[in-house]
Amino acid sequence: MRDVQVWCFVLLFAMVFAALSADQARPASSAVLFEGARLIAGDGRPPIDNSAFIVEGARFTKVGKKGEVQPPSGATRVDLTGKTVIPSLIDIHNHLGWTNQKTNTATRQSYTRALVVDHLQRYAYYGVAATLSMGLDRWDVNPEIPYQLRNEIIPNAARFLTVGRGIAATPMAGPVADYRLGVPYGAQTEAEGRALVHELHARNVEMIKIWLDDRLKTVPKLQVNVYEAIIDEAHRNGMRVVAHIFNLEDAKQLLKSGIDGFAHGVRDRDVDEEYLRILRQHPRVWVGPNLPARTPTAEEATAEITWVSETLPPSQIRRMRDELASRPATAPPNDLFAIQCRNLKKVHDAGMIIGLGTDANIDIGWGAHVELADMVSCGLTPAEVIVAGTRTSAEILKLNDLGTVAPGKSADFIVLDANPLENITNTRKINRVYQRGAAIDRATLKDTLSAEAAN
Ligand SMILES: [Zn+2]
């Protein structure tokens, strides 16, 4: 008995001593003061030129001007003089797990957890904190992966969200690429539509994706009464509905039918006054403009290839350079881009909520930065597109802890070497990316992501 007491005492002493030494090894406070950066907080207000903000644990606790923000004693200081800080970006439209970036191939078999995680790492590398998969996760190949990955905390990877399985008129009436056929749900009657909403609700999906597109009259399109039933059933269950659209007439009808958001802008023609009038009557409807690839100049394309070589293997960079070299000297006019560009400016001026959606499938992560620049080329200001890609996209996805640099928010932010308000392509000059208060390991990510595929 006595022996046991002695051992208990020894053990207790050892534990206290260990705790004391650990305490001495650690700084007195885990707070970090970041000071000196130009801070673009994502809230639409003018930047704070000489800012200071404190991160404690995973969150921002104080944000203000340098000299006015008092850190707790013992806080670590990080000097960001000359840098610009923006909140991490959020992409409200992707299709992950399809294309292997290392080989530029997409097959029916490619959908694996490892590939989706690789894509989420690409997002994180380029400063994207969270992203929504838009209805084409491989339900036919591995239906549990997207639900398992949802909101999982994976180091050095973006947060993954999903709309679950999207709904078209038939499973063959979604996107046309052969490896995508058969992926969506099909709904031809109101009852089928309502039943699918219940199925998605049971999987805790909060937003439903529908496709309204006859793919140039090659496939059936979701009927108005069917999507109205889907929207009605979704709203009854506290869910929202986002539509892939192509033409103006469908967009008008969807607005009248109570749609919550658009996954694309109007693409078949310039929007008219009637459309803008209907839009103004539905001020809570958002769009992720999801502009089609703009044809870059040779100079822009060369700069872009150099930039993305950080995350693509040399074989893919060679392929991109070869494609650029064989491009005709005079590119034909890019009508699809021009129409959507004009429409974006018009709906923006009409007050529509604009988020950041890239439809990423190949240009995963870096595409978010290209989209920001494309939006600026359509007439939005750099300040406006940064808000679109941060606070507004967080609001659209109901990610209440992301989107701005503000007390209480998750400390997810990007440190830039140059000011994106002067030139939006400066969002590409990433110095560091922070996730939940800690810098992600971009050096290791770069090595992993740009390595040639095994075998
Ligand atoms: Zn899409």
pLDDT at res. 405 = 98
413 CA to centre of ligand 1 in angstroms = 26
| Ligand 1 midpoint to CA 299 (Å) | 28
pLDDT per residue as tens digits for the range 33-47? 999 999 999 999 999
- Sheet of strand 240-245, all strands in order from the earlier edge strand to the far edge: 185-186, 167-168, 207-212, 240-245, 261-262, 286-287, 353-354
Tell me how far the alpha carbon of residue 242 lies from the centroid of ligand 1, in angstroms.
11
pLDDT for 18? 45
Instruction: Determine the average pLDDT of the residues in 297-312.
Output: 94
Q: Is the model more confident about 83 or about 216?
A: 83
Distance (Å) from CA 290 to ligand 1 centroid: 8
CA of 365 to the centre of ligand 1 (A): 15
List the chain domain ranges: 86-404
The answer to whether the Cα torsion of 257, 259, 262, 263 is positive or negative is negative
pLDDT bracket for residue 345 (50, 70, 90): very high
Is the pLDDT reported for residue 22 higher than 80? Answer: no
pLDDT bin (cut points 50, 70, 90) of residue 16 is very low
Tell me the mean pLDDT in the region 120-130: 98
pTM, whole model, 2 decimals?
0.92
Terminal C-alpha separation, the chain: 64
Cα 79 to ligand 1 centre (Å): 40
Mean pLDDT of 51-77: 96
CA dist 337 and 156 (Å) reads: 33
Q: What is the mean pLDDT of the chain?
A: 91
Q: How confident is the model at residue 28 (pLDDT cuts 50, 70, 90)?
A: low
The rounded Å distance from CA 88 to ligand 1 centre is 22
Residue 364 CA to ligand 1 center (angstroms) comes to 13
Distance 454 CA to ligand 1 centre (A): 29
3-state secondary structure of 182: coil
Q: Which amino acid is at 257?
A: S
C-beta pairs of 155-158 under 8 Å, 24+ apart in sequence:
155/440, 156/121, 156/124, 156/125, 156/435, 156/440, 156/441, 156/444, 156/445, 157/117, 157/120, 157/121, 157/123, 157/124, 158/120, 158/121, 158/123, 158/124, 158/128, 158/129, 158/130, 158/131
Q: What is the pLDDT of residues 177-195, one digit of tens each?
A: 766 777 899 999 999 999 9
Distance 288 CA to ligand 1 centre (A): 10
Q: Are strands 353-354 and 286-287 parallel, antiparallel or unpaired?
A: parallel
Share of the chain above pLDDT 70, in %: 93
Q: How many angstroms separate the alpha carbon of residue 41 from the centre of ligand 1? A: 29
Output the CA 400–ligand 1 centroid distance in Å. 24
Is it the case that residue 19 has pLDDT exceeding 70? no
At 455 the pLDDT is 66
CA angle 64, 68, 70 (to 5 degrees): 95
- Give the Å distance between the CA of 133 and the centre of ligand 1: 8
Task: Note the pLDDT of residue 179.
Answer: 67
The rounded distance, in Å, linking the Cα atoms of 161 and 15 is 43
Does residue 24 register a pLDDT over 90? no
Q: Of residues 249 and 137, which shows the higher confidence score?
A: 249
| pLDDT(2) > 70 | no
Map tokens 């990433």 to a residue. 430
Rounded distance from Cα 434 to ligand 1 centre (Å): 28
pLDDT tens string 431-452: 999 999 999 999 999 999 999 9
CATH, domain range 86-404: 3.20.20.140
